[in-house]
């Protein structure tokens, strides 16, 4: 997918990405995929830490950098210097969104706080992502995704009840979630700015994005004092709804979210009497014997290979899915049909495979025009073209280490 930039919904919007690592940059990347001009502001010489985070490549940049910094221009600028701060202010005057994820108070210490930037551009939208948000007793604490998973409540739920908590999928899950919420917040704030001329800032704590997706955890505790514990692959309130082993040493996910679906599974297992008015016909009955139900289903799934089970469950309209490794994902026909894996050309690496743009818009799709840029690759273009600085001034800034 590569829709022309002019047709993309965010075309004409300029974003200053002053953030590092994953959370803030993800918000900027999402806007850039749909046409926004994203200027990545990086520290001279070293650049964003994401450049060195993850699997290294012969291009001198890591795979996360190439994938997650797609569609961005790189400007080197030391915001800690007076001249660097002044240049950022000039850019703010001509931009719509600024994204940052420093510890609260950092930009203020450099004379680049919200009040200062809004005075320069009243319509500015500022996305601020930090470990705990801009307020509260923990606002000054540092943090990364792993800390957000822990503090947000999801790590407590990950794993088996008789074993230590594990990482819930990925330590970077909160970063990507917060980036998505940041992009959504920017879009809503931009809509207000377009109609009123008044900008605002979007304040996100990494842990809040995790806390927001914990389904009924909050009301269940407030309503009944219920504290959910680790359940392994199981799911509260529904059963069978877990991962089950197959004869060929693989795993399949089965989700019986109501009594009607369980009846279909019982029919597939050739035990229709277990549903309806039978032993496990209602969720209350199945919940009371959760371990026995799961063991019974597991005994059935182990009689068949995974592909056989997939065919049987599809035929019986029982929701199921294979637990795929990344190698299997690359071979899966659904991923291929949807074009979920984009292959983007790179001058040094040839073809690089990265996740395709999400979400999928039917009329004005986003696209990947380029992978993460070389450090400072667009500095002259931005300073000379956008701010009209002459070559001598740019050379002097470079000599002083400002860029």
186 contacts 31 by C-beta, under 8 angstroms: yes
Q: What angle do CA 58, 63, 68 make, to 5 degrees?
A: 140
> HSE of 104 in the Cβ direction (CA atoms, 13 Å)?
17
CB of 68 within 8 A of CB of 42? no
Establish whether 175 is a catalytic residue: yes
3-state secondary structure of 193: helix
Sign of CA dihedral 298, 304, 309, 312: negative
Please, how many CA atoms are within 13 Å of residue 358, restricted to the half-sphere of its CB? 12
Task: Tell the residue number behind the tokens 């950098």, with chain if given.
Answer: 65
Distances (CA, A) of 166 to 63, 235, 251, 300, 326: 25, 16, 19, 28, 20
- 325 by Cβ neighbours in 10 Å (0-12 / 13-18 / 19+) ranks as exposed
E-assigned strand segments in 222-315? 241-245, 251-255
- Are 86 and 387 within 8 A, CB to CB? no
The residue with tokens 């009840």 is 161
Closest CA to 154 of 141, 138, 165: 165
DSSP string, 336-371: HHHT-EEEEEETTTEEEEEEPPSS--SSS--B----
CA–CA gap between residue 67 and residue 343 (Å, rounded) = 11
Instruction: Take residue 230 and report the two structure tokens written for it.
Output: 């680790």
Choosing from 17, 78, 175, 203, which is the catalytic residue? 175
Phi-psi region of 105 (alpha: psi -120 to 50; beta: other; left: phi over 0): left
Question: Which residue has tokens 């953030």?
Answer: 19
Which two three-digit tokens encode residue 256? 């019986």
For residue 194, give every residue at least 6 positions away whose Cβ sits within 8 Å of its Cβ, in sequence order, or none: none
Catalytic residues: 175
């Amino acid at each position: 997918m590569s829709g022309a930039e002019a047709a993309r919904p965010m075309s004409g919007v300029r974003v200053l990405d002053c953030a590092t690592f994953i959370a803030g940059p993800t918000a900027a990347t999402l806007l850039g995929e749909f046409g926004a001009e994203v200027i990545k502001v990086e520290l001279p010489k070293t650049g964003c830490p994401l450049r060195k985070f993850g699997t290294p490549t012969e291009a001198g940049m890591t795979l996360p950098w190439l994938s997650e910094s797609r569609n961005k221009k790189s400007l080197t600028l030391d915001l800690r210097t007076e001249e660097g701060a002044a240049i950022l202010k000039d850019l703010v005057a001509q931009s719509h969104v600024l994204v940052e994820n420093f510890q609260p108070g950092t930009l203020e210490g450099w004379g680049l706080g919200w009040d200062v930037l809004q005075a320069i551009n009243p319509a500015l939208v500022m996305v601020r992502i930090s470990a705990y948000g801009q307020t509260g007793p923990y606002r000054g604490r540092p943090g990364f995704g792993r800390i957000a998973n822990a503090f947000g409540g999801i790590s407590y739920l990950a794993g088996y009840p008789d074993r230590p908590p594990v990482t819930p999928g990925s330590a970077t899950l909160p970063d990507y979630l917060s980036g998505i919420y940041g992009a959504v917040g920017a879009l809503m704030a931009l809509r207000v700015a377009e109609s009123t001329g008044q900008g605002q800032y979007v304040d996100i704590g990494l842990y809040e994005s995790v806390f927001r997706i914990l389904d009924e955890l909050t009301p269940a505790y407030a309503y009944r004092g219920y504290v959910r514990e680790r359940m392994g692959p199981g799911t509260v309130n529904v059963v069978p709804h877990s991962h089950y082993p197959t004869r060929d040493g693989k795993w399949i996910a089965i989700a019986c979210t109501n009594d009607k679906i369980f009846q279909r599974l019982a029919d597939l297992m050739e035990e229709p009497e277990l549903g309806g008015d039978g032993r496990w016909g209602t969720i209350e009955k199945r919940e009371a014997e959760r371990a026995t139900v799961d063991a019974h289903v597991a005994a059935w799934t182990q009689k068949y290979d995974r592909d056989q089970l997939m065919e049987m469950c599809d035929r019986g309209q029982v929701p199921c899915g294979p637990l795929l490794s990344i190698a299997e994902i690359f071979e899966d026909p659904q991923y291929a049909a949807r074009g979920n894996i984009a292959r983007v050309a790179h001058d040094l690496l040839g073809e690089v495979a990265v996740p395709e743009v999400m979400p999928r818009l039917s009329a004005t799709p986003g696209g990947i025009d380029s992978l993460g840029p070389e450090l400072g690759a667009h500095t002259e273009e931005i300073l000379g073209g956008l701010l009209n600085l002459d070559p001598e001034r740019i050379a002097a800034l470079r000599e002083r280490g400002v860029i």
